[in-house]
A and B are shown apart, each in its own frame.
Chain A
């Protein structure tokens, strides 16, 4: 069988092929060089970015802070404690203020028999021989509610008269502002 059927030998290259081959070699070698250079550059940058110096500085500052440990702890805890104190003061019930406000509403002829007071509600038991005084008291409370002084609302639950000592008793509950 005749093997060399092609007229042109495969080992012979045209000028075009030579140029392509040359170009391919140039591209391949320059790519390799680029990759190697890039790799070395990246390695150097990474090496330089290592935070060794920072860590050393950190260790020094931490050591210095260790020297003022007691002061640091006191400062932090003082700050925390002040914050809690602010919260407590802000949330405290102001019962004495409420009592002062209440005293202003009660005329002299009325005696206060019973008081139940907390942050939100007020219950009172009052007695008086003067209906006029009780009316004044009721008017005062009505004004306190309408002017939103310290009361949200007032409910008179009981009004009774005691013929034995000619006095009147009033029981009321109120919601505080």
Chain B
């Protein structure tokens, strides 16, 4: 047993003496491998991440600059006018006064008499809950119209030119008395803030054309401009914190 141990020791000593000069370079090479996996690779990953972040920030900056350019190039008066027109066409809340005015104006133009009417008001002071409700924010009104079918037709045509925007969904009646069901649309502000890190688009030609049409429609409706209140959106620009 002792002999065997002595033999093993001697073999080990022999190998050590023979190869001990190789140990430092081999050790260095092992160190290099360790450094490569322990330091170089993480650094490389950090570099890729930093480049990705820089690209992201570059993109974000480009969007912000584009948004700034888009917003500043708009004429204040024109934008205010467009905003007011669209807000009157599609109010942010149930506009009872606007609805009654629209009905009265249309009835006067068509020469029909307005009888009983009923309003389906819905929830007061509550935001529409579901997405479907949000999409179909409207005030339903049923009213009795007295007049010939030809006059009722004019009444309907007039109502469709009025603000707030309306959709006449049904007509039901006999010779001179008709029940008309109308939906008056409104649209609450759904977003609580404007994300300026997403591109703000310019109003397209088509959209500008629609606004112009609405403005013409509005000016033809009101000979004397009525003091309608358009609530300013109480929404703030909340940018994503810089660097995120």
Contacts and interface: CB of A to CB of B under 8 A. Distances in A.
Interface in A19-56: 21, 24-25, 27-29, 31-32, 34-36, 38-39, 42-43, 45-46, 49-51, 54-55
Interface string B170-182: 1111110010000
Please indicate which of the listed interface residues A77, A99, A115 has the most CB atoms of chain B within 10 Å of its own CB. A77
Contacts of B236: 69, 73
Contacts of A82: 86, 203, 207, 210-211
A96 to B, nearest CB: 4
Interface stretch (B30-38, B94-102, B117-125, B219-227): B30-38
Contacts of A161: none
B90 A74 contact: no
B71 A65 contact: yes
A25 B23 CA distance: 10
B71 A32 contact: no
A85 B167 contact: no
Interface size class of A (residues with CB under 8 A): 35 or more
Contacts, number: 230
A35 to B, nearest CB: 5
Contacts of A72: 67, 71, 194, 196, 200, 237
Interface residues of B, number: 87
A177 interface: no
Interface of B: 6, 10, 14, 17-18, 21-22, 24-26, 28-29, 31-32, 35-36, 39-40, 43-44, 46-47, 50-51, 53-54, 57-58, 60-61, 64-65, 67-68, 70-72, 74, 76, 79-80, 82-83, 86-87, 89-90, 149-150, 152-154, 156-157, 160, 165, 167-175, 178, 185, 187, 189, 191, 194, 196, 200-201, 203, 207, 210-211, 214, 232-233, 235-237, 239, 242-243
